[in-house]
Amino acid sequence: MKYYLVALLTFFSIIGLSACTTGEEEPREEDEEMNTEPVSPDKFTNQFLDGDFERLYNQTSSEFQSIVTLDEFVELGEGFNANVNNYELISEVPIQNMQEYQWISDQGDKGIRSYFAEDLTIEGLQLIPIASYPESDETYTENTYRMPINEEWYTFWGGTNELVNYHYPLENQRYAYDLFILKEDTSFNGDPEENESYFAFGKEVVAPLDGVIISAENTIADNTPNVDTNEEQLLGNHVVIEHENDEYSVIAHLKEGSLRVSKGDSVSAGDILGLAGNSGNSSEPHIHFHVADSADWENAASIRIKLEDEIEPVRGETITGF
């Protein structure tokens, strides 16, 4: 989930809307007749499309306003709305003490991601041009897989656009899933800087299909959640499994010392591989899973995974494996 945090810092919210301020502006006198009631999430895109930018801007947090001026907000909004007739809500996900909402335009080429606090303050807003790869979207794995889990998990990233899957712009991870365990809208209980506080940490990770282990790493230390990550060893502790039809499962961010398999081992679907951890390029305990068309995953193409029962989980959905 490291790239999610990078996106957070780069584009929106507490940090900004990917726009630079041009200096302080003279304060504007508030229109006495302007509706000052906060806009609810279900009305947000209607107001945005109607150009009610000042009302929405006044609902954003002081941190947001310290980075993005009203004039910039209006200019960005007007430009982004060009050729858009409506936005459709595609996901609603709890994030810490906020609720994330994501909408996609009727043409499928623009997305809005917004974060609302309980009092309806808009803490974050991201306007995202969306690339599409229809040819690879229609190409599935020849093999049929199951998720590498044996209880209920939560799809944090997954799907066929950048709004619901931050991996999507990257060819080698385009159809990857990031999974963690969510209970009562949170992924942990206790100290957020302790891996043991996270529900996913130490959970069993299993083989998604029969195959042979061709790569295994077991000695990389787990990160301190939300404090550090390991960008030098992206997968952290991991396995790569060779399957029939030249397909390769990549399962990453496992717990240090937890692997029960080694390179060269044959595994059957459902066999325990190791335990979920927080190693590699990871900010909290979770599982990364994708299927590649080559053993060299960094230079391979990710393949859209055909899952049993024809399920296609996307961000915000709970799933099971075995």
Express each pLDDT in 248-301 by its tens digit: 999 999 999 999 999 999 999 999 999 999 999 999 999 999 999 999 999 999
Element (H, E) at 93: strand 87-95
Report the top-level CATH class of 2-129: alpha beta
pLDDT digits (tens, 9 = 90+) for 139-168: 999 999 999 999 999 999 999 999 999 999
C-alpha to C-alpha distances, 5 to 35, 229, 243, 283, 309, nearest whole angstrom: 34, 11, 33, 8, 33
- Is it the case that residue 5 has pLDDT exceeding 90? no
Give percent of the chain with pLDDT exceeding 70: 89
- What's residue 218's pLDDT? 98
pLDDT in tens, 61-107: 999 999 999 999 999 999 999 999 999 999 999 987 899 999 999 99
The average pLDDT across 48-71 equals 96
Which pLDDT belongs to residue 26? 41
- pLDDT single digits (tens) 184-206: 999 999 999 999 999 999 999 99
- Sort strands 302-307 and 140-145 into parallel, antiparallel or unpaired: parallel
Each domain of the chain, given as residue ranges in start order, spans 2-129, 135-319
137 CB neighbour count, 10 Å cutoff: 14
User: Would you identify the CATH topology of the domain 135-319?
Assistant: Glucose Permease (Domain IIA) (2.70.70)
User: Phi first, then psi: what are they for 252, rounded to 5°?
Assistant: -130, 170
